Amino acid sequence: MRIFLRKIDYVELQKDWFSFHRPIKRCLSVYFARRRSSKERNTITENPPHYGSIETGEPERAPLKGANRPILYNCRLNYTLLDGGSRPLFDEYLEMLIQYGFITMFVPAFPIAPLFALFNNMFELRTDAKKFLRLMRRPIIKREKGIGIWYGILSVVSSLAIRTNACLIAFTSEFLERMNYVFYYSPNRNLDGYVDFSLSYMNVSRFTLNAKDEALLGNSTYCRYRDFREPPTAADPYAYTPVYWHNLAVKFAFVFIFENVAIALCALIAKCIPDMPESLIIISRHEARVINELLLQSELSDSKEEKTEGPPTQQPPIGFACVDEIKPREHSYVGIGFLQSE
């Protein structure tokens, strides 16, 4: 029981101490905050900003740094920086577009180009940040929904890159010709004999050779070159063989299939990863519905007020008396009666 009472006394004492300590802490914090603000105010009054003088040639001077620097001094300092013009980001977008075009269109010719582009962009990210923050004026703020026309240009470059890559793979490499040989012409389903299969014959006796070429050829009558043509002894010498047309058909089929598959994959990825999150789309639709309901309610309330007030009364024109009652009067003219109003 004594232990329990001691615990109660300790808790009550602790509550009293905290209740006594909080007002003191609050007063001290207010006192030091006021003292700090008075020191800053005295510093500004004792050492006011000087914006220079043309006559004496004295440069500008700011008394403080950071948030305490006067706004006018920051504006004047910003005016001395380089002017970015009305389109300060045009060159940056153009540079990124050219880099994107080279990387996407000709990546089969230089596969490690994206890696070098990544290193370049990591370095350029910091240099551009320093340029825009310290060397150029602050641009004028303007709200935009996206990157504007650059999005359409990037879409066109992407579609061209798909076709360019397909043509590079099909017409500048032996990949399809090797695959065609393996699946259609090789008896063992491998590349054995592909070099001899891909070389054609040419009769060198029809050319005038110098001593160096004769020494190089020796007694050879034919030479081999890489192409799919008929031999000189054929009925139509040096004409394209059926293998050439077969390879050409395979190349065009590959370009067609590659293009459609790539476009379908791009559309699928764009569908799976929308530009706006689904939650944001729902919120925007809800806002549009609420705005439409408010507009309808305002129109209905205006129409009800017009009905309760009644139609507007028309005042008679100046110089004419108002006729309260129209009394018909019958006249006869050539046996015909008609009504005439006064």
pLDDT at 8: 39
User: What are the extents of the domains in the chain?
Assistant: 1-42+87-138, 185-272
Residue with tokens 């090789």: 186
pLDDT at 34: 55
Question: To 10 degrees, the CA torsion angle through 325, 331, 337, 338?
Answer: -30
pLDDT at 222: 82
Q: How many CB atoms lie within 10 A of CB 165?
A: 20
pLDDT at 72: 67
Mind listing the pLDDT tens digit for each residue in 223-257? 888 899 998 888 888 899 999 999 999 999 999 99
Q: Check residue 135 and report its DSSP letter.
A: I
Least-confidence region, from 76-80, 192-196, 217-221: 217-221
What is the spatial distance between Cα 272 and Cα 278, in angstroms, rounded to a whole number?
A: 11
> C-alpha 333: how far from its chain's center?
87
- Tell me: pLDDT of 159 over 80: yes
What is the spatial distance between Cα 288 and Cα 276, in angstroms, rounded to a whole number?
A: 16
Q: How many CB atoms lie within 10 A of CB 166?
A: 21
Radius of gyration of the chain (CA): 45
Residue with tokens 């309808």: 296
Q: Which long-range contacts (CB under 8 A, 24 or more apart) does 108-115 make?
A: 108/165, 108/168, 108/169, 108/172, 108/173, 109/168, 109/172
Q: 201 near 222, Cβ under 8 Å? A: yes
Question: Highest-confidence range of 20-29, 134-143, 198-207, 240-249, by mean pLDDT?
Answer: 240-249
Q: Check residue 63 and report its DSSP letter.
A: S
- The mean pLDDT of 60-84, rounded to a whole number, is 65
φ, ψ for residue 201, nearest 5 deg: -105, 145
pLDDT at 304: 78
Q: 107 near 165, Cβ under 8 Å? A: yes
- Tell me: pLDDT of 310 over 90: no
pLDDT at 65: 52
What is the spatial distance between Cα 21 and Cα 219, in angstroms, rounded to a whole number?
A: 113
Q: How many CB atoms lie within 10 A of CB 200?
A: 19
Mind listing the pLDDT tens digit for each residue in 255-292? 999 999 999 998 898 888 877 788 888 888 898 899 99
3-state SS of 189-245 is CCCCCHHHHCEEEEEHHHCCCCHHHHHHHCCCCEEEEECCECCCCCCCCCCECHHHH
Compute CA distances 109 → 60, 155, 170, whole Å. Answer: 56, 22, 12
Confidence of residue 116 (pLDDT cuts 50, 70, 90): very high
- Tell me: pLDDT of 39 over 60: no
Confidence of residue 108 (pLDDT cuts 50, 70, 90): confident
pLDDT at 252: 94
